[in-house]
Amino acid sequence: MMKKEKRRPQPAGRWEIFSWCWYDFANSAFVTVVVTVVGGVFFTKTVCGGASWAEFAWGTALSVSAALAMGVGPFLGRWADRKASKKMALLVATMACVIGTALLALPGTSVLGVMVILVVANAAFLLGENLVASFLPELAEPGRRGRVSAYGWAFGYLGGLCSLAMALFLLRSGGEAAARRVFWATGLFIFLAALPTMLFLRERAVPGECGSEEPEWKMIWKTLHGHPELVGLLSGLTVALTGLSAVVGFASIYATTEIGFTLEGTVKLFVCLQVAAAVGALVTGGWQDRAGSRIVLLSSLALWVGVSLAAYLSRSVESFYGVAAGAGVGMGWLQSAGRAAVAEVTPTGQEGELFGLWGFAGKLAGIVGPLVFGGAVALFGMRGAILINGAWFLLGAILLTRVTLGNGKSVVEPRG
């Protein structure tokens, strides 16, 4: 006999939701400054001295940290559910990311030492992303989660822009010392911006709601094996995010090598993309609450297929700004809607577990997407690869057409 879903606690008020959004604002600084803009150049040119293997070492550190977060995420989520300690786990992950980011500024650290620090900091960032998302089902009732997820995601893009402005200001003087100042400043930025979340976000879970004598891996397997709709949703999101991760990883390279952007122009393009992504998240949140997650996700993937074709056809800087705007809207649209869709299938007491699995899907996509895109570039050139990459979005849409998301009710049976 199917168990009745447990009564959810009272949803959050506006101030608590705003406090939750601050975490998206905070952690965007890490991915924007450390991973995307400053960290890679600093590591390859300064730490490694421009060695031929520097890019490989940087990519290895990022891949190892993603794999670590993939493996740990679902188990950490189940532990947090069982102990009602999502907030404590989030605090530890945040401080690990903050301290790791600041430690990157220390002079005299060996290449291996910097790689270890980067692995820990990036894994902590990725796990924090899972944990803060796991609060979404508690913060908002069905019919409001799309817009709440959108508020956080849009605010996160604003955080990325603010941290980028801070980094560019600190880099004005140039040199290694300026780059090192960026890291400790970014660590402080993350810490201060995350304070509202740490101070005002409530832990509503009850200890022991998902307790079991069976091993954790078996319980996670049962969750997946017994709920094909959940597997279908995560599979579709994984495939779609694989294409998105390739776009994120190679957008600046494509813009400079194929379109002719300068470094300054690439920064402007990144700003355009961030602003468009915030708009994309905001304008689709309410629509998702009214129309349901599937139609919104499918529409975002249709947009991405069009963006892939437009990027292939683009030949000028002016036209590529239009491509970037479309990609930004699609990015905010897909990521925010995907998080809210997972919240819709999550029962009380399994928030950490299901968002750990959501994180697993996203991290797997982040590893596979750039790898496959890089191989496609070697075989078909950059333009051919960007067109082929559109197939990920098409395949993701095909998988998601087969998924029923429960019309606001969880499709996962809660455990006693």
Residue 255 domain-assigned? yes
Q: Are 389 and 329 in contact (CB under 8 A)?
A: no
Q: How many domains are contained in the chain?
A: 1
Q: In angstroms, rounded to a whole number, what is the distance separating the alpha carbons of residues 144 and 137?
A: 10
pLDDT at 58: 85
Residue 330 domain-assigned? yes
Residue 335 domain-assigned? yes
Q: Distances from the Cα of 51 to the Cαs of 83, 177, 352, 374, in angstroms? A: 47, 20, 41, 21
Residue 334 domain-assigned? yes
Residue 174 domain-assigned? yes
Q: In angstroms, rounded to a whole number, what is the distance separating the alpha carbons of residues 170 and 385?
A: 36
The domain spanning residue 291 has which CATH number?
A: 1.20.1250.20
Residue 24 domain-assigned? yes
Give pTM, 2 decimals: 0.85
pLDDT at 351: 86
pLDDT at 95: 97
Residue 88 domain-assigned? yes
Residue 395 domain-assigned? yes
Q: In angstroms, rounded to a whole number, what is the distance separating the alpha carbons of residues 376 and 389?
A: 9
Q: Which residues lie closer than 8 Å to 183 by C-beta, 6 or more apart?
A: 34, 38, 101, 102, 104, 105
Q: In angstroms, rounded to a whole number, what is the distance separating the alpha carbons of residues 277 and 271?
A: 10
Expressed as residue numbers, the domain containing 199 is: 14-205+214-408
For the chain, which ranges sit under pLDDT 70? Answer: 1-11, 208-214, 217, 263, 405-416
**Structure confidence by residue, pLDDT tens digits, 298-337:** 999 999 999 999 999 988 989 999 999 999 999 999 999 9
Report long-range pairs for 85-89 (Cβ below 8 Å, ≥24 apart): 85/203, 86/131, 86/134, 86/135, 86/203, 86/205, 86/351, 86/352, 87/198, 87/201, 87/202, 87/203, 88/203, 89/127, 89/131, 89/352
